[in-house]
Amino acid sequence: MLTIGNLAKKTGTKVQTIRYYEQIGLMPEPGRTAGGQRRYGEDELDRLAFVRHARQLGFTLEAIRELLDLSDEPDRSCENAAAIARRQLRQVEQRIARLEALRTELKRMVRECAGGQTADCRVLEVLRDHSECLTDHDEIGA
Amino acid sequence: MLTIGNLAKKTGTKVQTIRYYEQIGLMPEPGRTAGGQRRYGEDELDRLAFVRHARQLGFTLEAIRELLDLSDEPDRSCENAAAIARRQLRQVEQRIARLEALRTELKRMVRECAGGQTADCRVLEVLRDHSECLTDHDEIGA
DNA sequence: GCTTGAACCTCTAGCAGCTGGAGGAGGTAT
DNA sequence: ATACCTCCTCCAGCTGCTAGAGGTTCAAGC
């Protein structure tokens, strides 16, 4: 039986985060000692490891919830799980594409900045005048 | 003189967002009509355009605040502005590198999934067993 | 058995960067 | 005058945690 602190150490999670996952129903309510402290077994360890690994791959908690549900029903088709992974892959690819456009633009700004006074600074100039910007980055935060 | 709605349209910003920028001191308090409605001029339009463009390039609001301050002092050296841009570039490059690692891993998962039952699903299997994962993605959310 | 001291408990608030809604007042066209 | 749209303020919520206050429990050492 693991304390929450030991579970945290084993999975590289913060204690608070584990309690948070419990609060939002991603982790089950564990057993407790007479004094009210949480105690965890192997199942919970596996589940948390699953969650953390999925988080590392960028899945949202909602997606992870779906994946966990699917994982709990071993007889169902795996098509749903694959679809979630493909969706995640598409999102990652979109974000990469967007960041690469930003990188290009930032590189150009930095390269062209001659280092004089702010009045002539290319960095500020490009920011001021959108038309000098070659990239068409429409969305924010994607 | 522009209403907040027209300013929003011209800059591709939501009305609420403009008020939010004002609240956090990123946009100045504009003039008001007798009835208390905000009215904006060219300066504010330029400033908001600057902010939005910088946001599109991924700068944080704090970085934008610095850039705006620098932009207001045209005599100072532009080195600070260039440093902020370089810092942003580095961050973008780090995020790209991380996302590319995720992309590789996700592609592999999706490719290997034969589409049977969830019990044999490669997607779920990889998530369950970290050791099957080739990528070393330590940090979350970077 | 008793005392530390670390680790646990609950609860609340905060981070970025907005976004949405409630409930009401202002502005404009007919 | 009336309709209708936009504007106002204030507050709550989103994601995914993280930090802190203030108090309890547990395990080890004596």
pLDDT score, position A104: 94
- What would the mean pLDDT of A97-116 be, rounded to a whole number? 91
CB-count burial class (<10 Å; 0-12, 13-18, 19+) for B27: buried
Question: Could you report the per-residue pLDDT of B85-99, keeping only the tens digit for each?
Answer: 999 999 999 999 999
B72: closest CA among A113, A127, A107?
A127
- Residue B134: which pLDDT band, with cuts at 50, 70 and 90? low
Would you say residue B138 has pLDDT above 70?
no
DSSP bridge pairs for A31: A39
* Interface predicted TM-score (ipTM) of this complex, two decimals: 0.88
| Greatest distance between any 2 Cα atoms in chain A | 70
> Nearest Cβ partner of B128 from A50, A56, A86?
A50
Looking at the domain covering B4-64, what would its CATH class be?
Answer: mainly alpha
Would you say residue B43 has pLDDT above 70?
yes
pLDDT score, position A10: 95
Q: Do the Cβ atoms of A116 and B49 come within 8 Å?
A: no
DSSP, res A137: -
Domain covering A4-61 assigned CATH 3.10.310.10 in the classification: no
> How many angstroms from the chain centroid is the CA of residue A125?
34
Residues 85-124 of chain B with CB under 8 A from chain A are 85-86, 88-89, 92-93, 95-96, 99-100, 102-103, 105-107, 109-110, 113, 115-121, 123-124
- What would the mean pLDDT of A89-93 be, rounded to a whole number? 97
Residue A30: which region, alpha, beta or left (left: phi > 0; alpha: psi -120 to 50)?
A: beta
